[in-house]
């Protein structure tokens, strides 16, 4: 089964529009991962929930600037390898 990765600036539950509609259909035949915009948090963590057959990935990160981008890349790479 193939994977579809969607990186969005919107929360999955913000409003149900065309992207959610299409991704829900794709989830019938593919593994779909919806990455919400990373949020500043007290610790670095990645949480995954499931809705409509979609894996919704929420990222909290403490870092700022260039260090933030490097940390995000490492977190996402680790997640995808698992």
- Give the chain's mean pLDDT: 90
**What does R_g of the chain's alpha carbons equal in angstroms?**
13
pLDDT band for position 47 (50/70/90)?
very high
The structure's pTM equals 0.86
Which three-class secondary structure state does DSSP give residue 71?
helix
Q: Can you give the pLDDT at residue 45?
A: 94
For residue 50, the enclosing domain spans 3-81
Q: Can you give the pLDDT at residue 1?
A: 67
Structural domain total, the chain: 1
């Amino acid at each position: 089964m193939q994977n579809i990765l969607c990186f969005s600036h919107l929360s999955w539950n913000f409003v149900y529009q065309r992207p959610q509609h299409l991704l829900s259909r794709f989830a019938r035949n593919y593994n779909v991962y919806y990455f919400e915009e990373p949020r500043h948090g007290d610790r670095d963590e990645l949480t995954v929930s499931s809705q409509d057959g979609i894996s919704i990935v929420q990222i909290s990160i403490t870092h700022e600037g260039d260090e933030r981008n490097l940390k995000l890349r490492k977190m996402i790479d680790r997640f995808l390898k698992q």
